[in-house]
A and B are shown apart, each in its own frame.
Chain A
Amino acid sequence: MTGIEFIKACSAIGAGLAMIAGIGPGIGQGFAAGKGAEAVGRQPEAQSDIVRTMLLGAAVAETTGIYGLIVALILLFANPFI
C-alpha cells in the first residue's frame, strides 16, 4: 500500500463520518412537520401561517446538513492532501 492510497482510504472514512451530520436536520424537520400537522389539525383556518413559520425554520435548519455534505465531497473529489 502506498502513502497516497492510505490517505485516500482515510479520506473515505472521514467523508463517511462527515455525512452523519445529515441526520440532524432530518430529525429536526420531522419534528417540525409533526408539530405543524398537529397545529393544523387543531386550527385548520391558520394553515398558511403555520406552513410559513415552519418553512422558515426548516430552511434555516437545512444548512448544517449541507456543511457536512460539502466537507465530505471535498474529501472525496477535491482532496487537497493528494
Chain B
Amino acid sequence: MKMKMTNLSLETTIMVGGGVVSLVLMPFGFITANPETYILGILFGGLYSILNFKLMQVTFDKAIKMPPVQAQKYIQTRYFLRYLISGVVIYVAIINPWLNIIGVILGLIAIKISVLMSTVLFKKNVSGNEA
C-alpha cells in the first residue's frame, strides 16, 4: 500500500481519494426515502468534482509558466468559467427529479474531503521515507 502511494503522483492519489470518499458516502443513501436518486446524485457530483479538479490542474500547469500578473488574470477568468460550469451542474441537479440535491452536494465536496485527508497520509509517507 505504502509503495503504491509513493508511485502514484499526488494529484492522482487525490482524484482516486475523491472517488473513494464518494463510495464511502453512498451507503448513507439507504437511510433516505429514495436511495437510488441519492446514489445517482453522489455519482454525478463526485464525477463532476473530480473532473473539476483535473481541469484546475491543467489550468494551473499552464498559468505557472506565465509572468505573475498575466497568470493572475488567466486564473481568475478560468475560475469564473469553472464557477459558471458548477452553476450549470447544480442547476441540472436541482431541476432533475432523478438526482437528489443533497447527494450531489456531498459529491461536490468529496474532492475537498480527500484533499484534507491527504495530510494524514503525508505524515505516514514522510515517516516511512525516513525509516
Contacts and interface: CB of A to CB of B under 8 A. Distances in A.
A48 B94 CA distance: 38
A26 B79 contact: yes
Given A33-B72, A34-B68, A73 B94 contact: yes
A57 to B, nearest CB: 9
Chain A contact patch, size range:
35 or more
A38 B10 CA distance: 22
B83 A22 contact: yes
Q: Which secondary structure dominates where chain B touches chain A?
A: helix
Contacts of B91: 73, 77
Q: Which secondary structure dominates where chain A touches chain B?
A: helix
Nearest to B83: A22
B128 interface: no
B16 to A, nearest CB: 14
Interface residues of B, number: 42
Given A60-B116, A69-B86, 14 more contacts: A26-B76, A29-B76, A33-B72, A33-B75, A34-B68, A37-B65, A37-B66, A41-B68, A50-B64, A55-B56, A56-B10, A56-B14, A59-B112, A60-B115
Interface of A: 22, 25-27, 29-38, 40-41, 47, 50-52, 54-56, 58-60, 62-63, 65-66, 69-70, 73-74, 77-78
25 contacts: A22-B80, A26-B80, A33-B72, A36-B60, A36-B71, A37-B67, A37-B68, A37-B71, A38-B68, A51-B57, A51-B64, A52-B10, A55-B53, A55-B56, A55-B57, A56-B118, A59-B56, A59-B112, A60-B112, A60-B115, A69-B90, A70-B90, A70-B105, A74-B94, A77-B91
